[in-house]
Chain A
Amino acid sequence: MSDFFYLIPISIVLGAIGLVVFLWTLRDGQYDDLDGAAERILYEDDEPRRDQQKNNS
């Protein structure tokens, strides 16, 4: 009976990690340009963004 009680904290922690990751992506601006992201994937361009290269921000 008590076995499954291990699973509850694990599932909640996993869910919380998902939440934190989502909040991070939101803050990182990954949803600022959804239309653009859909198009960019079609172009082969493996160089990182220039502003990230230089400022590392």
Chain B
Amino acid sequence: MSCCLPPPEFIEAAAGPIRRGPSDDEIRLASRDLGKGMRQIDLSVPAVHCGGCIQTIEKALNALEGVESARVNLSTKRVAIRWPEGRALPPMVETLVGLGYEPHLYETEDSQKDRTLPGLIRALAVAAFASMNIMMLSGSVWSGADGATRDILHWICAGLTLPALLYSGRVFYRSAWNAISHGRTNMDVPITIGIALAFALSLYDTIHSGQEVYYDATVSLIFFLLIGRTLDHVMRERARTAVKGLAKLAPRGALVLGDNGAPEYLPLREIMPGMTILLAAGERVPVDAVVLSGASDLDRSLISGESLPVAAEAGTRLEAGVLNLTGPLTISAEAGEQDSTLAQMVRLMEVAESGRNRYRRIADRAAELYSPIVHLAAFVAFLGWMAFNGDLHNAVTVAIAVLIITCPCALGLAVPMVQVVAARRLFDAGIMVKDGSALERLAEVDSVVFDKTGTLTLGSPQLLDLGDIAPETLAQAAALAAHSRHPYSRAITRAGAGLGAMPGFTTISELPGFGVEALLGDDRYRLGRADWALSDAEGAGGTVLSRNGMELARFAFADGLRAGAHSAVSALREAGLAVEIVSGDTSAAVADVAIELHIADSAGGVLPGGKADRIAALRVEGRKVLMVGDGLNDAPALMAAHVSMAPSSAVDVGRSAADFVFLHDDLSAVPLALAVARDAGRLVRQNFALSALYNAIALPIAIAGYVNPFIAAIAMSLSSIVVVLNALRLGWGGYRFYRWPLHQAVAVRP
């Protein structure tokens, strides 16, 4: 196939400078048709953080030729760009990169706007409107309206209740019907029965000019419970969009050489085994493949956990997702998308997930205990009053009062309110939570399993021993290294940052697999492999900077620990957790890190399936495991664990498998999340105790028949407010299990 050379302009593109951000082809694939000849792309721009960013981006993009409109959304950190179809794509990615806001594409399949939330808020608005007006009118009834005036007020209340009952209440009816049709019962069953009966009885009393009606109780029940539902939903959605906005690591497609030699950009699912793909430097391998020609270095840290880059030449096998670092490669696909490493990993994850016990949320478990008691109490009250005085109307009234007063809104708010506050605290510290059950599960954890590469360590090499290298030499090396994407070069660039003026190198070129070469005056400088850079190197290894073949400096690298790794591990141990490392890297490398962090249990050279098996073995022992990992090889283990965490640098499969994603490099996110989850669990239990106390007081009064609508409404609102206030206490006095300087966490937000 090597005879089929691509057209010249393409060779230039493939070999040219490394491009950041999605390519034009990817943008075209990901954009959607708005009709009227317009197309829109939504790009995730994580670096946007203030009003100034909005102005900069919108001004620059709107000034571009061919851009119809550009609008930044600061909450979701996205920019929506529209342009007319059929013309050349405006250089929006280049513009954004030039401004310093690197754009990413995110999943399009499920990026449709969330439809549930607006629906919930509409229902909430209607319920709020109805409940407030009814409260106002009830006020006049309570203050002594009677006769015809009271009847008219009751009729108006009935009219106002209808929209809330029919429109806002649907959320509960649907969920209750779901539970009943599956032969289960949940919290929504007594709610639905209570609402329906209360309305029916109130209507009956209104028609017969009765004294007491329960419209206000009915509607405020719907209102308060809807607040709980909405909060629950908002939290889940927010974390989901935040995680989705991170860089997508698997490419959407690849440049395929057709039979006639012309390159064509094909979406991933159309790539068949045997196709020839051109892979530019800086791109990820789309499907499992083998190298046909070219030389480069590969970063496999996210796939297999190997911390050091490996060289690629003709014949090297590549797994999907491996990052091509330095030179363009021509590769031949060996598998389609379905059979690639990535898809196999997804299957492993499904197996792992099926092994995990289904976790049932605290609120569901509470409801399971609670709703039979409520039904029984109401039924007993009804029978008791029938036996006592045989007054059907009175008995029904008491039964409804019991149903309504023992379905306290407090119980519906007890869990979501705490979890929303906890998620907010974590969000401020750069930790995203997938959903509330993750917080509950994290609070139960008793052991932690860490991946090594990319989790305990940074996953990229750091320069060692700066001491014996002169600053000017380092500055020269950094100036050369800035032209390469190789992890070693980046480490040198980082180390040399801020050392002053750049030497005036000319004719800089990178030789994939070897290093960077440049001229300074008449001297030839080389930065790269020793046997290439030095003229008299016999078998010398390592990385050097040389001038005309003479060694100037030698660089040594090691994978550095993440910031906070020491303190995080010791904090976890102090919290009473067992810590261990399971890694795919070599046993020696793993043992080094384990010794440095004083971790006794470590295992190296573990295959992806082996990691999940280790988690399963711990589970059989009765442990509840927190898995922290970032690589593709960790994904099955993340799925298998009781709860899981991943850094934001993780592969997207890992990020979507994990329950928590932390955005900062600092590993102290792990103990912080644990502390918040445990404190949140404590507050949830307190809230349950408060609601139980409320019930213990209210239930006898309701059964005795002393509850009137006024008391019901006041008690309901009060208990809800108490629960909300209790939830807001989270994190006020620091966390019980971990002292975290929260102001620092806020300060490091970008």
Contacts and interface: CB of A to CB of B under 8 A. Distances in A.
Interface of A: 1, 5, 8, 11-12, 15-16, 18-19, 22-23, 26-27, 32-36, 39-40, 42-43, 45, 49-51, 54
Interface in B166-218: none
Contacts of A43: 51, 54-55
B557 interface: no
Given A5-B152, A36-B73, A39-B74, A54 B68 contact: yes
Contact of A40 (B51, B82, B121, B129): B51
B578 interface: no
Given A36-B73, A51-B82, A12 B133 contact: yes
B571 interface: no
Interface string B76-120: 100000100000000000000000000000000000000000100
A19 B125 contact: yes
Q: Which of A16, A36, A43 has the most CB of B within 10 A?
A: A36
Contacts of B133: 11-12, 15
Nearest to B62: A50
B75 interface: yes
A7 B69 CA distance: 48
B129 A15 contact: yes
A39 to B, nearest CB: 3
Nearest to A53: B69
Nearest to A39: B51
B68 A50 contact: yes
Contact of B156 (A8, A33, A36): A8
Interface residues of B, number: 28
The B interface is mostly helix, strand or loop, or mixed, namely: helix
Given A18-B129, A23-B122, A43-B55, A50 B75 contact: no
A43 B55 CA distance: 8
Nearest to A45: B55
8 contacts: A1-B149, A23-B125, A26-B122, A32-B75, A33-B75, A36-B75, A40-B51, A43-B51
B122 A50 contact: no
Contacts of A19: 125-126, 129
Interface of B: 50-51, 54-55, 62, 68-69, 71-76, 82, 118, 121-122, 125-126, 129, 132-133, 136-137, 149, 152, 156, 160
A22 B126 CA distance: 10
Nearest to B160: A12
Contacts of B69: 49-51, 54
A19 B137 CA distance: 18
The A interface is mostly helix, strand or loop, or mixed, namely: helix
Given A22-B125, A40-B51, A51-B68, A15 B132 contact: yes
Q: Which of A34, A45, A50 has the most CB of B within 10 A?
A: A50
Contacts of A32: 73, 75
A29 to B, nearest CB: 9
Given A11-B136, A22-B125, A36-B51, 19 more contacts: A12-B133, A15-B129, A19-B125, A23-B125, A26-B118, A26-B121, A32-B75, A35-B74, A35-B75, A36-B75, A39-B50, A39-B51, A39-B74, A40-B51, A50-B68, A51-B69, A51-B71, A51-B82, A54-B68
Nearest to B145: A1
Which 5 pairs from chain A and chain B are nearest by CB?
Answer: A39-B51, A36-B74, A51-B69, A35-B74, A33-B73
Contacts of A22: 125
Nearest to B118: A26
B69 to A, nearest CB: 4
A19 B160 CA distance: 13
Contacts of A23: 122, 125
Contacts of B125: 19, 22-23, 26
Contacts of B74: 33, 35-36, 39
B54 A40 contact: yes
A54 B76 CA distance: 25
B139 to A, nearest CB: 12
A26 B126 CA distance: 13
Contacts of B126: 19
A16 B129 contact: yes
A9 B87 CA distance: 57
B290 to A, nearest CB: 47
A49 B71 contact: yes
Given A8-B156, A16-B129, A54-B68, A39 B122 contact: no
A23 B136 CA distance: 22
A42 B55 CA distance: 11
